[in-house]
């Protein structure tokens, strides 16, 4: 296992509301065996082999397209302590659990 050289940060603008984020995060945490602690809009995740991740949420004004209004949330994921392998697995699973269908 290779340690990350420095904390890595992923920042995403996502179309979801806080309740939806919490539900999906719970499913992700179960899949990756993560403990989750919440402080308002910040989540602290800890997992096996010293994995530590911090997620900050910021609700932004809705995006309006014609008569449609979509929620917008800025999501910042900081990997405080993770190997390269843990980073890759978390990122892959996060994208799977938070992907929205379209077409």
Within 1-103, strands assigned E span 8-14, 35-39, 42-46, 52-65, 68-81
> Domains along the chain?
8-98 (3.30.1370.80)
As a whole number of angstroms, the distance between CA 94 and CA 27 comes to: 10
Per-residue pLDDT tens digits of the chain, which is 103 residues long: 566 656 699 999 999 999 999 999 999 999 999 999 999 999 999 998 889 999 999 999 999 999 999 999 999 999 999 999 999 999 999 999 998 765 4
pTM attached to this predicted model: 0.88
> Cβ(54)–Cβ(45) under 8 Å?
yes
Give the list of residues 6+ apart from residue 93 with CB closer than 8 angstroms, or none: 28, 31, 32
CA dihedral of 49, 91, 69, 61, whole degrees rounded to 10: 60
């Amino acid at each position: 296992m290779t340690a990350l050289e420095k904390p890595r940060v992923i920042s995403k603008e996502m179309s979801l509301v806080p309740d939806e984020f919490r539900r999906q995060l719970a499913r992700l945490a179960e899949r990756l065996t993560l403990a989750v602690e919440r402080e308002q809009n910040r989540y602290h995740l800890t997992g096996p082999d010293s994995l530590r991740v911090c997620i900050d949420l910021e609700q932004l004004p809705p995006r309006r397209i014609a008569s449609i209004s979509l929620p917008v949330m800025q999501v910042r994921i900081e990997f405080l302590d993770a190997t390269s392998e843990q980073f890759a697995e978390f990122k892959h699973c996060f994208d799977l659990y938070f992907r929205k269908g379209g077409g």
